[in-house]
Structure formats: structure tokens, C-alpha cells
Amino acid sequence: MSVRTIGSYALLALAALMLWGFLRSDASLASPKTLIALLITVGIPAGAGIMLLRAPGGRRSARVEELRRQTVEAEILRLAMQHGGRLTVVEVASALALPSESAKATLDSLAEREIADLEITDKGVIVYAFHDAKHFGGKQSARGILDA
């Protein structure tokens, strides 16, 4: 159990105890001052506790999602090198156990960033071509920029 979860349960317990105290008191719930005090002592802790329970992990979950995206992209590039620099959505989805929509979105993202180019077969299948992966074996013949 995380600190966040423990904190949210503590706030909810505090709100419950405050509500119990209000119900046992002789305070009139018809008084505006009593309602404001009830809102402050019960409503705010209860609302904060519920928000903590329901809210996603915030910055941490965003970082985890970014790491997941980077890992999937790295695996796609590794897969592209194994397949001669050309991949389809079906190949990526099956090799990485991803839903086809997720595989297509990631491949489209790589194409938008010009890491991959889109090609189409005669039968209408979209192929993602990774230029660097296709020519990876030619790095031994590399020369300096001014030597070319």
C-alpha cells in the first residue's frame, strides 16, 4: 500500500470521525455557521481523500508511460533490424504482443518523427520502412562527411 493510499484513507477516516462528532453534538444543522463548519471539517478531508484515491499517479504515472513508450519504440527498431528495415502493423503487434491499434499508433508516431517512411504494397498493405535499419550493415564503409 502506497503512502498516497494510506493518506487518502486517513483523510476519509478523519472526515468520518468529524461527521460522527457533529451528529452526536447538539449543533443545529439549520444554522449557516454549523453547515460551513461541517463543510470545512468533513467535506474538505472527504473530498481530498476521494480525489487521492481516484486520481492517477500524476508525474510518476506520466514518467512510467513515457518509459513504456520508449521501450516499445526501441523494440520496434530492434524488430525492424531483424526484418530488413520493413515492418507491418501485424508483425509489430504479434511480435510485441501489442493491440494492433497501439502498434499502429506507435508506428505512425515514428513515421511522423521521420524515423520511418510509409510504403504500400501492390495489395494495399502499409509497410513502415526504417531507412537506418535497412542500411545498418553498411556502416563499415562509412567515411567522413568531408571525404564523401
Same domain for 97 and 50?
A: no
| Over residues 82-94, mean pLDDT | 93
| Claim to verify: residue 77 and residue 133 sit in the same structural domain | yes
Q: In the prediction, which pLDDT does 58 show?
A: 55
Query: Would residue 73 count as lying in a domain?
Result: yes
Q: Does 146 map to a domain? A: no
Q: Which amino acid is at 81?
A: M
Contact present, 135 and 81 (Cβ < 8 Å): no
Q: State the pLDDT at residue 61.
A: 72
pLDDT in tens, 62-78: 788 899 999 999 999 99
Say if CB 29 and CB 38 are below 8 A apart.
yes
Average pLDDT of 101-105? 95
Q: Domain count of the chain?
A: 2
Over range 54-59, report the average pLDDT: 67
**pLDDT higher than threshold 90 for residue 123:** yes
pLDDT value of residue 57: 61
Q: In what order do the strands lie in the sheet with 126-129?
A: 86-87, 126-129, 117-120
Domain that holds residue 130: 64-137
Residue 137 has pLDDT above 70, yes or no: no
- The pLDDT of residue 140 is 65
Pair 49, 85 in one domain: no
Looking at residues 41-45, what average pLDDT do you find? 92
